[in-house]
Amino acid sequence: RARLRGGDLVLFASGRRVSHVGIYVGNGRFVHAPNSGGTVRLDSLDAPGWRELFRSGKRIIR
């Protein structure tokens, strides 16, 4: 998490498979739609639930 930069994808999973993806915006926060058809929102990676489900970050464009 310390190496995340704005624009990185953040991946979440409750098991072995990634079940949710967001976009990191900086300062420990990411944007995402919590469910299909849901409103896009801003959340903290440290929020209960997200902290436990966070698996990794991926930089697509360097």
Q: Which amino acid is at 19?
A: S
> What is the number of structural domains in the chain?
1
Expressed in angstroms, the distance from the first to the final Cα of the chain is: 17
**Residues 7, 62 contacting (CB under 8 angstroms):** no
pLDDT the model gives residue 1: 85
Within a domain: residue 4? no
Provide the residue range defining the domain that includes 50: 9-58
Within a domain: residue 1? no
CATH of residue 15's domain is 3.90.1720.10
Within a domain: residue 40? yes
pLDDT the model gives residue 34: 84
Within a domain: residue 3? no
pLDDT digits (tens, 9 = 90+) for 3-35: 999 999 999 999 999 999 999 999 999 999 988
Greater pLDDT, 14 or 62: 14
pLDDT the model gives residue 44: 98
Within a domain: residue 13? yes
